[in-house]
């Protein structure tokens, strides 16, 4: 008991500094992404923007969804809760057919429909707080995997075959 009482304040101080370090790193990465990346955004073709708008209406998304291409990312991503933005890497889109690019847009729209952006922030915050618990980290990775499976199932409800969609995901 006395040795634990002597060590507990030090453990608390170390935990506090690790949390502060992780939060500052998250803020730095977010700011770097948000401000440095915007200058590298490229307007997509009108037909892709129109496809994104039509499908977002089909999904029942009330918010305006923007579609952009970017040179600074390697995989498709979605961010923004109030004004969602879908970013597709230029290098990837140049190597995809139109239907493959459309399937990626539908996948990202499924993330927006299920508010995965908000859930992802909750997961990031909880991962930061409970970084020391391996069971919690396993649960978080399972939640992320199930979210991706859910979005993949949304894509397969359309005209895309599972094989072609799997090939698209491999390219991505």
Q: What is the pLDDT of residue 3?
A: 82
pLDDT by residue (tens digit) across 32-66?
A: 877 776 777 889 999 999 999 999 999 999 999 99
Q: What is the pLDDT of residue 79?
A: 86
Q: What are phi and psi of 42, to 5 degrees?
A: -125, 135
pLDDT by residue (tens digit) across 96-151?
A: 888 889 999 999 999 999 988 889 989 999 999 999 999 999 999 999 999 999 99
* Closest of 136, 157, 146, 46 to residue 98, by C-alpha: 46
Question: Cβ of 105: how many Cβ atoms within 10 Å?
Answer: 23
DSSP state of 158: T
Q: What is the pLDDT of residue 97?
A: 87
Does residue 79 sit in helix, strand or coil?
strand
Q: Please determine, for residue 8, whether its predicted confidence score (pLDDT) is greater than 80.
A: yes
Q: What is the pLDDT of residue 1?
A: 63
- Can you give the pTM of this predicted structure? 0.84
Percent of the chain scoring above 70 in pLDDT: 99
pLDDT tier at 5 (50, 70, 90 boundaries)? confident
């Amino acid at each position: 008991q006395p040795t634990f009482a002597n060590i507990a304040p030090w453990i608390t101080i170390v935990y506090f500094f690790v949390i502060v370090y992780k939060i500052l790193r998250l803020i730095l990465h977010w700011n770097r992404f948000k401000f440095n990346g915007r200058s590298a955004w490229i307007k997509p073709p009108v037909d892709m923007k129109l496809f994104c708008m039509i499908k977002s209406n089909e999904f029942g998304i009330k918010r305006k969804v923007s579609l952009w291409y970017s040179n600074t990312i390697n995989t498709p991503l979605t961010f923004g809760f109030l004004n969602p933005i879908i970013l597709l890497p230029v290098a990837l889109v140049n190597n995809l057919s139109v239907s493959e690019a459309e399937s990626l847009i539908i996948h990202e729209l499924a993330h927006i429909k299920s508010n995965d952006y908000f859930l992802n922030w909750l997961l990031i915050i909880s991962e930061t707080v409970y970084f020391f618990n391996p069971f919690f980290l396993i649960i978080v990775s399972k939640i992320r995997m199930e979210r991706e499976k859910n979005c993949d199932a949304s894509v397969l409800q359309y005209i895309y075959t599972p094989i072609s969609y799997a090939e698209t995901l491999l390219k991505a």
